A = this chain, B = another copy of it.
Amino acid sequence: MANFVSLSEAVSANLNDGDTVAFEGFTHLIPYAAVHEVIRQGHTDLTLMRLTPDLAYDQLVGMGRVKKMIFSYVGNPGVGLLRRVRDAVENGWPRQIEIEEHSHAGMANAYEAGAAGLPFAVFRGYLGAELKRVNPNIRSVTCPFTGEELAAVPALRPDVTFIHAQKANRRGDVLIEGIVGVQKEAVLAAKRSVVTVEEVVEDFDDVHPNACVLPGWTVTSICHLPGGAHPSYAHGYYIRDNATYLEWDGISADRERFQAWMQEHVLEAKPEIFAKRVAEMESAA
Q: Evaluate contact between B150 and A145: CB separation under 8 angstroms.
A: no
Given A140-B144, A208-B208, A210-B211, CB of A118 within 8 Å of CB of B150: yes
Task: Identify 15 new A-B residue pairs, CB closer than 8 A, beyond the known A118-B122, A119-B150, A209-B235.
Answer: A116-B123, A118-B124, A120-B146, A139-B145, A141-B142, A141-B144, A143-B152, A144-B152, A145-B154, A177-B208, A178-B210, A208-B208, A208-B210, A210-B210, A210-B212
Residues of B within 8 A of A212 (CB): 210
Within 8 A of B (CB), among A236-274: none
| A130: Cβ under 8 A from any B Cβ | no
The minimal Cβ–Cβ distance linking A51 to chain B, given in whole angstroms, is 18
Q: Digitize A180-223: 1 where CB-to-B-CB distance is under 8 Å, 0 elsewhere.
A: 10000000000000000000000000001111100000000000
Instruction: For the complex, give the distance between the alpha carbons of A116 and B177 in Å.
Output: 23
Given A117-B124, A118-B122, A122-B122, CB of A209 within 8 Å of CB of B146: no
Q: A139: which of B124, B144, B209 is its contact (CB, 8 Å)?
A: B144
Q: Evaluate contact between B210 and A180: CB separation under 8 angstroms.
A: yes
| A148: Cβ under 8 A from any B Cβ | yes
Instruction: For the complex, give the distance between the alpha carbons of A210 and B178 in Å.
Output: 6
Residues of B within 8 A of A116 (CB): 123
Q: Evaluate contact between B209 and A177: CB separation under 8 angstroms.
A: yes
Residues of B within 8 A of A209 (CB): 177-178, 235
Residues of B within 8 A of A124 (CB): 117-118
Instruction: For the complex, give the distance between the alpha carbons of A154 and B143 in Å.
Output: 9
Residues of B within 8 A of A122 (CB): 118, 122, 141
Instruction: For the complex, give the distance between the alpha carbons of A144 and B120 in Å.
Output: 8
Residues of B within 8 A of A148 (CB): 119
Instruction: For the complex, give the distance between the alpha carbons of A233 and B148 in Å.
Output: 41
Q: A118: which of B123, B137, B144, B177 is its contact (CB, 8 Å)?
A: B123
What are 6 of the A-B contact pairs (CB < 8 Å)? A118-B124, A120-B146, A122-B122, A139-B144, A177-B209, A208-B208
Identify the closest chain B residue to A148 (Cβ). Answer: B119
Within 8 A of B (CB), among A27-70: none
Ordered nearest first, which 3 A-B pairs have the shortest CB separation?
Answer: A208-B208, A139-B144, A119-B146
Q: Digitize A114-133: 1 where CB-to-B-CB distance is under 8 Å, 0 elsewhere.
A: 00111110111000000000
Instruction: For the complex, give the distance between the alpha carbons of A144 and B154 in Å.
Output: 9
